[in-house]
Amino acid sequence: MLEDDQQQAQLVKGWLEEIGHQVTHRDNGTDFLAACRREPFDLAILDWELPDQTGVDVLTMLRQSYKQTLPVLFATQRDNEEDVVNALSAGADDYLVKPLRQKELSARLAALSRRAGIDTPAERLQLGPIEIDTQAIQARVDGELVKLTQKEFDVAVLFMRNIGKVLSREYLLRQVWGVDAALNTRTVDVHVSKVRRCLGINPDMGFCITTIYQHGYRLEAINS
């Protein structure tokens, strides 16, 4: 991933690592191209505006010198038609305009992987009768499909991946909504309550989502 905004890079890196990708990040074109010479990467995400050159310049060199077939996704704030055409003409396989959305980014990379014949990471999470398939984006309880919105599903996945850990409201906002504090934290509370209810997480199951005062929430086992 080539991205000079450190906060954006850490956000996207976290998203991708959650679904099983290993991510190498560089914040300038020179270091990015050097990394591509040294290592065999499966996918690349490029920003446009960089401290030393443009993303299109990097892509041109990438295609000419190093990686002819590497799938490349542009992720940039530049949204006019000419920029899109220039990036695609230079060899980009897809183009996304910031702000990025977690599920859309994941889906675009999965599509690029399929076209390139790359195996995409799949993950199945289980907690008692609850089963979550992150690739199919499905949640089941006792084998029965449970209807969740995309945001509710994302919240459920975070809890299932972090059993026993306290997840702050700020962390949930950042990971699910992609913002630091732009939404009222009441939004998080409503979604957590819905996940708890829809998945039947209660003492009878042996697990609960506990509210940690002034901190957030924790999915934990109940000691018998």
- Read off the pLDDT of residues 161-207 as tens digits, 9 standing for 90 and up: 889 999 988 888 877 876 655 556 788 999 999 999 999 999 888 89
What the chain holds in terms of domains, given with CATH numbers, is: 6-116 (3.40.50.2300), 124-221 (1.10.10.10)
pLDDT of 23 higher than 60: yes
Residues above pLDDT 70, as percent of the chain: 92
Q: In this structure, are residues 219 and 162 in contact, taking their beta carbons and an 8 Å threshold?
A: yes
C-beta neighbour count of 101 within 10 angstroms: 15
Q: What is the mean pLDDT of the chain?
A: 88
pLDDT for 31:
93
What pTM value is reported for the model? 0.57
pLDDT of 118 higher than 80: no
Residues whose CB is less than 8 angstroms from the CB of residue 21 and which lie 6 or more positions away in sequence, other chains included: 43, 109, 121
Helix (H) or strand (E) holding 212: strand 207-212
The tens digit of pLDDT for each residue in 51-101 reads 999 999 999 998 887 666 789 999 999 999 999 999 999 999 999 999 999
